[in-house]
Amino acid sequence: MSDPLKLAMAVLDDFMAALNRGDEAGVNASYNFPHVRLASGKVTMWQKAGDYKLEGFRARAGDGWAESRWDKRTPIHVGQDKVHLAVQFSRWRKDGSLIARYESIYIVTRQDGHWGVQARSSFAA
């Protein structure tokens, strides 16, 4: 059996790469559904692949957002079908200036053989 932590980290890499290239289908492919986000005092759920739209992300990403980066990814719990990670990511403008850094919890799961981000709890806007 493959290493669940390595698979979860690869999913996070795929997610960030898709986000940064503006690849909505790629972001959706890096998720498992239903996908849940807890942030800004509310819970948002996307029921199926294709429901997540990048326009919502861009609206909250910050003035001049050009890319995001992982600053740290620390496993909390690792199971055969689920990995909990404490992460920090940062958002950057095209000129290289920092917009902000955010602490989050990401839950990556395996559903029907597919590893994807199932849930996020973030202090990001």
Domain that holds residue 67: 4-122
Alpha helices in 21-81 (DSSP H): 24-29, 54-60
Which residues on adjacent β-strands are paired with residue 78? 83
Other CB atoms within 10 A of residue 79 CB: 11
Least confident range from 20-29, 58-67, 100-109: namely 58-67
CATH classification of the domain holding 103: 3.10.450.50
- 40 or 37: which leads in pLDDT: 37
Query: Residue 22: which pLDDT band, with cuts at 50, 70 and 90?
Result: very high
* Number of domain units in the chain: 1
Residue-wise pLDDT tens digits, 47-71: 999 999 999 899 888 779 999 999 9
Q: How many helices (H) and strands (E) does the chain have?
A: 3, 6
